[in-house]
A and B are shown apart, each in its own frame.
Chain A
Amino acid sequence: MSISRRSFLKGLMATSTAALVGPGLIQAANAAASDTAGQWKVTGSHWGAFRARVYAGKVQEIKAFEADKYPTDMLKGIKGIIYSPSRIRYPMVRYDWYLNREKSDTTQRGDNRFIRVTWDEAITLFHDELERMQTQYGPWAIHAGSTGWRSTGQVHSCGNHMARAIGMHGYTVNKVGDYSTGAGQTIMPYVLGTTEVYAQGTSWPLILKNSKTIVLWGTDLAKNLQVGWNCETHESFEYLEQLKEKIARKEIRVISVDPVKSKTQNYLNSEQQYINPQTDVPFMLAIAHTLYKENLYDKKFIDTYALGFEDFVPYLLGTTKDKIEKTPEWAEQICGIKADDIREFARMLVKERTQIMVGWSIQRQQHGEQPYWMAAVLATMLGQIGLPGGGISYAHHYSSVGVSSTGAAGPGAFPRNPDKPEKRIHKNKDYKGYSSTIPVARWVDAILQPGKKIQANGATITLPDLKMMVFSGCNPWHHHQDRNNMKKAFHKLETVVTVDFTWTATCRFSDIVLPACTQWERNDLDLYGSYSGRGIIAMHKLVDPLFQSKTDFEIFTLLARKLGQEKDYTQGKSEMQWVKELYDGCVEANKASFPMPDFETFWKEGFVDFGKGKDWTRQAAFREDPEINSLGTPSGFIEIFSRKIDRYGYKECQGHPMWFEKTERSHGGPGSDKHPIWLQSCHPNKRLHSQMCDSEQFRATYAVKGREPIYLNPQDAKSRGIKDGDIVRVFNDRGQLLAGAVVSDNYPAGVARIEEGAWYGPVDEKIGSLDTYGDPNTLTLDLATSELSQATSANTCQVQYEKFVGKAPAVTAFGGPKEIS
């Protein structure tokens, strides 16, 4: 052995290295387990329940829960979330903020140095900022109310933890509404008495038995039913399968009113009624006009169940101030459907039992209240509301809506509010004239235009002068519109704190980033089937929190400890004690009708199944007796005309549904000369919003040259010299992005799709910089639907695109924050 030549190092150790060497990283293990194959555990997710084999501290394989007969392909992406290179591994602080706090150079956001801090220091910094905000400004300066699709699990529900812990410190600004259904959930209580978007719908077996025609209005069931708000059961897919058979046997006719051939249409092999984007209201008005003129509408139903038809008809006939009769000929010019076809469509609707299923897409656009309201007016004119297989629904594409409910109670959740009597440290509720609650999509406006007064759902809102944002399990740099506008807004913020398990763009634009673990690194429980209430699923911790991540429960317990309120926060209970408490509460609530095993048995078995529910018809009770079972509207009836809304005096949402031209619209509409393509940014087929985009191998199954796909019409693509697989630059006056071309006959001329949730990865922090991966909200318009909802108008978006030539910049969206310089 020739080691003599190394003698120059002799004596080195003794003289110098000893002081420089730190403690070891390896230690003796406890008695090694003889386990060689690992252990199967059960857990849940938005994508469904599954069993996971865990061996040597690692999730090795995943298989769908056996009760789920239609598991989503996305289960293949789960491991990629846990072991993603984009995971936040340690508490991190933006370096310039660390040095200069509120005086930091905020224009650096998005191109940052970060430094690692200990949990102790991170929580201290977080706490000190909350403290500074409350003392230097007041509750109006902190927005800690934005929430999104948290990971599933009732104990660790991250929004609740954030709200409770921060609530123990002081008051903050909060939000109302959400990005999915902002317009729908605001308008529908005026019209049908509930949000409708989050309401159980008529059971599928009744629809399959009674409907002769199903109209899918801008809804893609097969795509969106893959995920659920709680643990998803996918029972709806059994019914879609039956529907497919019935269509083949010509027993049911299904027609999609959609510019695009949807996944559902292709699966069902059903029909399509093409319509120009954003022109549903003219089409609906012309249908109503036909029904009225041809005397096909149900007068008796309207007389018994609805109010205000007579106030609406003059608008239809063109005798009100716009002087436009809403004839099929008028509509044809806008919606692109031949007048005679509109008439035929109207006649078809009344011919037999017709179920109208409306999706959420048409209310995620400017004046999104109108198509929802007008669809309800149409359904009222058809007179089938409350009949099995008839009427209208706004959520058959969502979670387990349409799967009959068992009626069993699900588990409660970790409390969102501080317990009474409250020991809130800062009791100051003086918002200095600013509003304490703002519509969810208006927070960027608040940062940019503090003090501005806006109308919202009958109230006047004064936008607060926000200085600090706190996000937990929430990714506004995916779900909010207009990235470049957001960059400007973030220059004005003093402090941004984000809790997440993965380096979303929101984290990258933050100052303090706290690593939560994923939902599979903690114990929890969840309802199985959000609307069906099919059962309770145990969520066994698969592996311990990776790196320095912690559960939401632990993170906010640390903050509460800082407030001297740890015991108040946890109520002295551990994670498992909370799991048990929520389960026991569920046992108690169900004891009369659904006897449940004790906790230990449940935890060992992994689930409790409540069986199949009873079929049910939406609005049947109202139809049976509208006096006793009145709707939740001001009058208790269906409101074709709303006096309440009329009294608000809004310009873009008046007393009855109306057609309003859009700020931008394709097919000859405003702005289409410069930016001719309508960009739709619907819910993704291979993700849950932005969740799972960081799952590397799964993303690779749909990405095109590493970029998010843009789905293009063949003619549009050809005329621009673009082939399938090319990189495309998509742009308008708001921004620009790169995406990978998928050319498909499913898309008509003038229409393109980029699914929302694609992670934002700009080449640099500068305003206007090119997004390298393909986040459609780089291009969308940050414009309120109307004064009523102030909701997002993401689907009002015109773009142009071209073949990208030259060397495409590397994708920066994944793997953590970038530093460009």
Chain B
Amino acid sequence: MTETTVSEINETRASLYWWFATLLTKELDKEQLAMYFCGEGVTLLDQLEQEPDFTASVQKIKSALTTILAMNKPELELAADFSQIFLTDTKAGAPPYASVYLSKSGQLFEQPHQDMIDLFKAQGLTVDPEFNEPADHIAVQLDYLGNLIIQDVNGVSEAQINFIEVHILSWLEQFVKAADKVNNSGFYQGVCQLLQAYIKQDIVAIMPD
């Protein structure tokens, strides 16, 4: 395998993590959603569906899209789903913050947030003030992971593996379970499951032999 291939694969991996980050950052607007009915989104989902480990979750996403498409205002329905899971009910929903799952207090901005802040600080980074979310937000973590990967032009650094294991896998399962408990179109539940399936495969793949 040539170095170019490694770099290409890393670019793909980074892009996928960024794609997940995008989906979990905020609601899709009308144009963005349209791409999942007919466009790049469909292409991506189709390709991912072919991978056996991803089939179930991609089908969940696709089925949700079909449900939503039949509705009057698909983008608003999906936005309401997004709110229900991530933005409003932190008890029965799936708040996208590691602190909620990992700290005893059940409060926001607990140690996992602090850990991310420290990590960012050491590298002269910060969460975009416009976004203004705790640093342990799943989308921030995935965005950062994408950056870690893309910097590793020639392979997979220990930092990548470490970050995935310590900062993401420590709460991802609980997060995905929490999302699964919410009853709506299932789009974001599918996205969370797909993320989990992907990261599971990815960590195995990048582990040193």
Contacts and interface: CB of A to CB of B under 8 A. Distances in A.
B132 A13 contact: no
A12 B140 contact: no
B180 interface: no
Contacts of A30: 126
Nearest to A545: B132
A25 B124 contact: no
B15 A18 contact: yes
A675 B27 CA distance: 51
Interface string A791-821: 0000000000000000000111011111101
Contacts of A11: 8, 12
Which secondary structure dominates where chain B touches chain A? helix
Nearest to A59: B109
Given A1-B209, A16-B40, A29-B126, A80 B83 contact: no
A696 B131 CA distance: 25
A24 interface: yes
Interface string A108-131: 000001111000000000000000
Given A24-B143, A58-B109, A90-B87, A99 B73 contact: yes
A27 B21 CA distance: 15
Contact of A547 (B47, B133, B205): B133
Contacts of A83: 105, 107-110
B48 to A, nearest CB: 8
Contacts of B209: 1-2
Nearest to B16: A17
Interface string B1-30: 100011011011101101101100111000
A58 B87 contact: no
Nearest to B132: A547
Given A83-B107, A696-B107, A25 B25 contact: yes
Contacts of B118: 56
A25 B142 CA distance: 10
B205 A26 contact: no
Contacts of A812: 91-92
B114 A4 contact: no
Interface string A59-93: 00000000000000000000110011111011010
Contact of A24 (B89, B120, B124, B128): B128
A95 B82 CA distance: 12
Contacts of B16: 9, 12-13, 17
Given A17-B16, A26-B128, A28-B125, A115 B80 contact: yes
A818 B124 CA distance: 39
Contacts of A6: 9, 12-13, 201-202, 205
Contacts of A92: 83, 87-88
Contacts of A1: 6, 155-156, 206, 208-209
A87 to B, nearest CB: 7
A32 B43 CA distance: 43
A11 B202 CA distance: 17
Q: Which among A26, A544, A812, A815 has the greatest number of chain B C-beta atoms within 10 A?
A: A26
Contacts, number: 218
B126 A27 contact: yes
A706 to B, nearest CB: 11
A5 B52 CA distance: 13
B131 A17 contact: no
A12 B13 CA distance: 10
B9 A9 contact: yes
Contact of B132 (A9, A18, A114, A546): A546
A509 to B, nearest CB: 14
A57 B120 CA distance: 13
Interface residues of B, number: 79
B9 A113 contact: no
Given A1-B208, A32-B121, A8 B108 contact: no
The majority secondary structure among interface residues of chain A is loop
A818 B182 CA distance: 11
A7 interface: yes
Contacts of A602: none
B195 interface: no
Contact of A548 (B95, B132, B147): B132
B2 to A, nearest CB: 11
B59 interface: no
Contact of A17 (B40, B76, B82, B100): B40
A115 B86 CA distance: 11
Interface in B104-139: 105-110, 113-114, 117-118, 120-121, 124-128, 131-133, 137, 139
Contacts of B79: 115-116
A735 to B, nearest CB: 22
Given A1-B209, A21-B15, A114-B80, A26 B120 contact: yes
Residue in B87, B127, B128, B133 whose Cβ sees the most chain A Cβ within 10 Å: B87
Q: Count chain A CB atoms within 10 A of each CB in B83, B127, B143 and give the residue with the most.
A: B83
Given A25-B127, A79-B107, A814 B41 contact: no
B73 A5 contact: no
Determine the interface band of chain A, counting residues with CB < 8 A from chain B. 35 or more
B83 A116 contact: yes
B35 interface: yes
Given A6-B205, A16-B47, A115-B83, A26 B93 contact: no
B188 interface: no
Given A696-B105, A815-B91, A817-B89, A26 B126 contact: yes
Contacts of A21: 15, 18-19, 21-22
Contacts of B27: 115-116
A17 B126 contact: no
Nearest to A98: B76
A22 B25 contact: yes
Nearest to B117: A56
A114 B83 contact: yes
B55 interface: no
Interface string A93-106: 00100110000000
Interface in A372-425: none
A20 interface: yes
Contacts of B208: 1
Interface in B51-66: 51
Contacts of B19: 17, 20-21
Nearest to A28: B124
A15 interface: yes
B83 A26 contact: no
Interface string B177-197: 000000100000000000000
A95 B44 contact: no
A249 interface: no
A3 interface: yes
B121 A13 contact: no
Contact of B35 (A7, A15, A20): A20
Contacts of B93: 815-816
Given A21-B15, A85-B90, A8 B120 contact: no
A113 B40 contact: no
A592 interface: no
B143 A26 contact: yes
A697 interface: yes
A10 B92 CA distance: 38
Contact of A114 (B88, B113, B126, B143): B88
Contacts of A9: 9, 12-13, 16, 47
Contacts of A86: 90
5 contacts: A6-B202, A17-B40, A26-B120, A56-B117, A83-B109
Interface of A: 1-13, 15-22, 24-30, 32, 56-58, 79-80, 83-87, 89-90, 92, 95, 98-99, 113-116, 503, 544, 546-548, 696-697, 810-812, 814-819, 821
Given A812-B91, A814-B91, A816-B93, 16 more contacts: A1-B206, A16-B40, A26-B128, A26-B147, A27-B127, A27-B128, A28-B125, A29-B124, A58-B113, A80-B105, A84-B108, A115-B80, A116-B26, A116-B27, A696-B106, A812-B92
Q: Which 5 A-B pairs have the closest CB atoms?
A: A815-B91, A85-B90, A29-B126, A22-B22, A13-B15
